[in-house]
Amino acid sequence: MKPRLRFAPSPSGYLHIGGARTALFNWLWARSQGGTFVLRVEDTDQERSSLDSVRAILDALKWLGLDWDEGPEVGGPFGSYFQSERKALYRESVERLIREGKAYRCYCTKEELDRAREALKQQNPKAAFVYPGTCRDRHDEPALPHVVRFKTPRDGSTDFVDKVFGAISTPNHAQQDFVLVRTDGYPLYNLAAVVDDHAMEISLVARGRDHIGNTPQQVLLYNAFGWKAPEFAHLPMMLNAKGEKLSKRHASVSVQDYRERGFSPMGVLNYLVRFGWSFGDQEIFARSELIRVFDWERVNKSDGKFDEKKFADVAFEHLKRDDLTSLDEYVDWVRPFLTARGIENPSNELLHAAVPGIRERARTLVDAASDLEFYFRATPEMDDKARQKFLTAESAPRLKSLSSALAEVTSWTASTLEEAGKRFAEREGLELKHFAQAARVALTGRSASPPLFDVMAVLGREQTLARLARGIELAGA
C-alpha cells in the first residue's frame, strides 16, 4: 500500500519554518514512495483562524514547491479539506461514542472547575489538576450547556510505537477525561484530527514532537472507535541558541521572511531538512537527491539549534551553484527583486547574460538584484565617492582613448575586448589599474563589479560606448 501522509496546519498566522520542516518530511516520504500528500486545514478554532492565513500558508507551500495531491484548490476524494466544513462528521462520531458509553456530556461549569482547581492548590500547590469525573455517571440533559468528555479507562495503559521515539506507554490513570467538544459545539483538536486522519486514510502521521503528548489521547480514540491507528513519527524541535522553542522574538521564523530576504526555496528546504534528519556529513542536497535518499531510519530525536548564519550559508550555496539552481530558475527568481527596485520588465536576454557574472558573490536574491541593477539603468546611478575618486580630470583622456580603441573591436566578446584593452594599455604605456577603475565607475556607477570586460560584453557595444562617453563628461573632459 502506498503511504498517505498529511500536513495539517492551523491557519492562525504565517507558515512557521518549523511547520515547513514538518510539511517537508511528509512530502518527501510521499514523493519518494509514490504516495499521497494531503493538505488539511485545521480551522475549527474560529477565533484564531483566518482566510488570510490560509492564503499565506498555501502561498508559502507553493513557493517551497511542496505541492499537495489532495487538499484546498485541488480537491480530492476525501474532501472537504477544511475542518470547518466537516463538523457534521465530528458530531456524528461523538454521538456514537456517547451512545456507546465511551464519552459523556459534562455539565460542570467553569466556575465549579475553577473552585475545584483552587481547592486542590490549597491542599497541594504542586499537584496538577485532573478532572475528577464528576459527570461520568450523570444523567444526560442535552439541553443544558455542556462539553463532551472522553471516558478514559481508569486502568491499563495506552501504548504506541513511534517511528522516531520508539515504544511509548502511558498509564491511563495519568490521563484525564479530556474534552472532545467545547460548549459551543466545536470539536477540539484530538477528536477532529483522529476522525479526519481515519476518514482520509492517513497511514503515517508525522508532526512535531510538541504533539507527542496528544498521541496517547488519539490512540485512545482510535481504540474507542475500533479503528486502526496510523503509524506515528514525532520530529525533534527547532530550538534557539539557548535551547528554547524558536519564536519570532529570536529570529525570522516565517517562510515568507526568508522569501523576502532573497533565499531560494531549495535553500530554505535544504537548511530545514537537517532538523531531525541527516545523511552522513552531507550538507547540501538537490531536491531530487533528497527525495531519493530521505528515509525514516535516518530521522533522529535530537532537537536542533537554529543558526541564522548557517542558514544563510546554505541558502547562498544553492544560489551560487548552477547544478542546484539553473540559470533559468535564477532569472525567474531574481526578476521580482529587480521589479521591487523599480526596474519594470527586465530583459530576459540581458538577465541571462548578466546573472552568471554576479551569482558567485551575491549571497541572496536581494544582493543579486542590487548587483544587477546597473545593467538595467540607461544611466547607472553613480556612487559619489567612487565618482570623485576615479572619474578625475586625469582619467578623462585615458577613457577617451580607451573608448576609441574599443570602438574598433568587431566581435564584441569579453576576450576580444580584453585583448583590445591590453593592446591599448601597451600602446599608451599604461597598466590596467590606470584606467580600469575609471572605466568600471563609468559603466556601473560603482567601484566593485563583475570583471570589467565581462561587464562590457554583457552591456554590448552601444551601451558600453555611451556609458564611457558619459563617464568622460563627468570626469570633466
Binding site for ligand GLU (CB under 6 A): 8-10, 42, 193, 207, 211
Terminal Cα distance for the chain, rounded: 79
For the question of residue 248 being annotated catalytic, the response is: yes
Residue number, 175 or 217, with CB nearest to ligand GLU? 217
Instruction: Tell me the three cell numbers of residue 473.
Output: 563628461
Please identify, using beta-carbon distances, which residue of 164 and 351 lies nearer to ligand GLU. 164
Shortest approach of ligand GLU to residue 387 CB, angstroms?
54
**8 A C-beta contact, residue 352 and residue 335:** no
C-alpha cell at 425: 594599455
- Give CA–CA dist 284/270, Å, rounded: 7
> In angstroms, what CA-CA distances link 210 with 245, 249, 363, 380, 457?
10, 19, 34, 52, 56
Burial bucket for residue 119 (CB in 10 Å: 0-12, 13-18, 19+) = exposed
Q: How far is the CB of 184 from ligand GLU (least distance, A)?
A: 19
Q: Between 452-474 and 395-407, two packed helices, what is the crossing angle to 10 degrees? A: 130
Which lies closer to ligand GLU via its Cβ, residue 248 or residue 422? 248
Nearest C-alpha neighbor of 32 from the set 72, 2, 62: 2
CB of 380 to ligand GLU, least distance (A): 48
Q: Which is nearer to ligand GLU, 98 or 235 (CB)?
A: 235
Cβ proximity to ligand GLU, 3 vs 9, nearer residue:
9
The label of the residue with cell 499521497 reads: 36
User: 319-341: buried (b, 16+ CB within 10 Å) or exposed (e) per residue?
Assistant: beeeebbeeeebbebbbebbeee
Which of these is catalytic: 121, 248, 310, 385?
A: 248
* Least distance in angstroms from the C-beta of 310 to ligand GLU: 26
**128 CB burial (10 A radius; 0-12, 13-18, 19+):** exposed
Nearest to 263 by CA among 310, 303, 198: 310
In terms of residues, how long is the chain? 477
* Nearest-angstrom CA–CA distance, 321 and 267: 11
CB of 245 to ligand GLU, least distance (A): 13
CB of 274 to ligand GLU, least distance (A): 21
Q: Work out how close the CB of 301 gets to ligand GLU at its nearest, in angstroms, rounded to a whole number.
A: 17
Q: Which is nearer to ligand GLU, 106 or 206 (CB)?
A: 206
The angle that helices 348-358 and 327-340 make with each other, rounded to 10 degrees, is 100
Measured CA to CA, the distance from residue 239 to residue 241 in angstroms comes to 7
- Give me the phi and psi of 87, to 5 degrees please: -65, -35
Show which residues are catalytic: 248
